Amino acid sequence: MKKLFLSLNNKLFKRAIGYIPGGVNSPVRAFKAVGGTPVFIKSAKGAFLYDHEGKSYIDLINSWGPMILGHAHPSVVKAIKSAVDKSFSFGTPTEGEVQLAELICEMVPSIEKVRLVNSGTEACMSAIRLARAFTGKNKIIKFEGCYHGHADSFLVSAGSGALTQGVPDSPGVTSSVVSDTLVARYNNLKSVNQLVEKERGQLAAIIVEPVAGNMGVVLPEKGFLEGLRKICDCEKIILIFDEVMTGFRLAEGGVQSLVGIKPDLTTLGKIIGGGMPVGAYGGKAELMNLISPAGPVYQAGTLSGNPITVAAGLATLNYLKKHPEIYGKLNETTKKITLALERIFSMNGISVTINSIGSMFTVFFNKNAVTDLYSAKQSDTKLFSNYFHLLLSKGIHIAPSCFESLFVSMAITENISKKIIGIHEEIVPELR
């Protein structure tokens, strides 16, 4: 019988499945939403990923956001190399952490004090704990389709991986935890007001992705964020902007600096670690001074403020600070790509809605506007899977789920943009 040729990739995945649940360390990577075998990446540089079979891919995932400067940016590599020679973790305070905290507070006006942690999940769960401690209230409001990491409080109609896994409420999350998490509809202040009416006096926080990226990109409609700010002011509820994805991505000061709204707390991650494990939460000193050891709200972490993460984060943020023109360039490149894609799909009679802002975008195979989870889920996921695999075969790696944001990095040059557009001109007719 002809020996079944198993590609190196398939062999790696087969091995991985034997030792790691689903063969991956984060669900969305497993290609469950699009089928097929995930590509194991061996290295990356600039705008390109390289797999174990010598194939290269233009990267539009960029590690789900962190790699805004492109892969292995020289200034970040240099900073990590110089830090690593001084050992990797001390478990003591370091100057670098002070410098990173100062920089975050300088670049994000609403943040007066900040605590570094090791993931966006940790940042969001800590921010909720702080809001509950400060207000003495238990309940929180989140939005369908928004994802704030995998802490129990949030795995209620979560977006991102949980949405893709088709299991919005994860087993293992207790009903008591869920009872303190209320779910509103994104871009729907009426749904928020209904919950506030019902639970008046019990609400500690409203947590929101000010630009949603975990149901695919969904933009806040006019008045939505302003409305949340007003509700929180009136009801003395803590407003938390989860900017883990959008912080330093859409602007130096995040979405809050673009819309001129100050949340009480902000969560950060991804870019502030330059690709190393990181999270952070910060806001008014009055709130943050409740965090141990300054105050009674406990939160800790062995590797929080790790010198390698801090070095990579400082190098990335300092580069962005020194080159603010990057944001304009990223926005221009992304606009050029998305406008061209709209033209190509339309010319081929395929209805798409492309939601984009700054260097984030999502192609929904959907003839209607996508303004919340409900409308996002009307998209044709089968057509998306075909699109995904055609692009992959032509050397473009996008997110293996349409309920994710794509990310453009600074390494996507004019020529690479043209290549992305050219490949779309080639493959979109095959989608019909």
C-beta closer to ligand KE4: residue 61 or 237 = 61
Assess contact for 402 and 381: CB atoms under 8 A. Answer: yes
The span of 119-127, 231-239, 288-296, 415-423 binding ligand KE4 (CB under 6 A) equals 119-127
Q: Which residues pair with 283 in a beta bridge?
A: 113, 265
Question: Residue ranges of the alpha helices (H) in 118-236?
Answer: 120-135, 160-164, 175-179, 189-198, 224-235
Find the helix or strand (DSSP H, E) in which 184 lies: strand 181-184
From residue 202, alpha-carbon distances to 124, 139, 183, 194, 375 in Å are: 19, 6, 15, 14, 30
| Cβ atoms < 10 Å from Cβ of 15 | 12
C-beta closer to ligand KE4: residue 124 or 311 = 124
The span of 209-217, 284-292, 326-334, 406-414 binding ligand KE4 (CB under 6 A) equals 209-217
The span of 166-174, 239-247, 335-343, 364-372 binding ligand KE4 (CB under 6 A) equals 239-247
Q: Is 270 a catalytic residue?
A: yes
Q: How far is 34 from 233, CA to CA, in rounded Å?
A: 43
Q: How far is 36 from 11, CA to CA, in rounded Å?
A: 13
From residue 159, alpha-carbon distances to 317, 401, 417 in Å are: 28, 11, 29
Assess contact for 114 and 288: CB atoms under 8 A. Answer: yes
C-beta closer to ligand KE4: residue 147 or 248 = 147
Q: How far is the CB of 17 from ligand KE4 (least distance, A)?
A: 17
- Cα angle vertex 242, ends 277, 172, to 5°? 75
C-beta closer to ligand KE4: residue 26 or 82 = 26
- Binding flag, residue 121, ligand KE4 (CB under 6 A): yes
Token digits for 389? Answer: 């695999």
Q: How far is the CB of 249 from ligand KE4 (least distance, A)?
A: 10
- Binding flag, residue 271, ligand KE4 (CB under 6 A): no
Q: Is 230 a catalytic residue?
A: no
List the catalytic residue out of 180, 242, 264, 372. 242
Site size toward ligand KE4, by CB under 6 A: 21
- Binding flag, residue 145, ligand KE4 (CB under 6 A): no
- Binding flag, residue 148, ligand KE4 (CB under 6 A): yes
Identify residues 153-182 at the interface with ligand KE4 (CB under 6 A).
160-161
The span of 143-151, 287-295, 306-314, 361-369 binding ligand KE4 (CB under 6 A) equals 143-151
Identify residues 332-361 at the interface with ligand KE4 (CB under 6 A).
none
Q: How far is the CB of 392 from ligand KE4 (least distance, A)?
A: 18
Q: Which residues contact 432 (CB under 8 A, 6 or more apart)?
A: 348, 349, 350
Fill in the per-residue mask, 53 to 72: x = in contact with ligand KE4 (CB under 6 A), - = not in contact: -----------x--------
Fill in the per-residue mask, 17 to 36: x = in contact with ligand KE4 (CB under 6 A), - = not in contact: ---------x-x--------
SS3 359: coil
DSSP for 61-79 reads SGGGTT-TT-BT-HHHHHH
Q: How far is 31 from 398, CA to CA, in rounded Å?
A: 11
Q: Is 147 a catalytic residue?
A: yes
List the catalytic residue out of 180, 270, 281, 372. 270
Q: What are phi and psi of 171, to 5 degrees?
A: -60, 150
- Binding flag, residue 132, ligand KE4 (CB under 6 A): no
The span of 141-149, 184-192, 197-205, 387-395 binding ligand KE4 (CB under 6 A) equals 141-149
Residues acting as catalytic residues: 147, 242, 270
The footprint of ligand KE4 (CB under 6 A) covers 26, 28, 64, 119-121, 124, 147-149, 160-161, 209, 213-214, 242, 244-245, 269, 279, 404
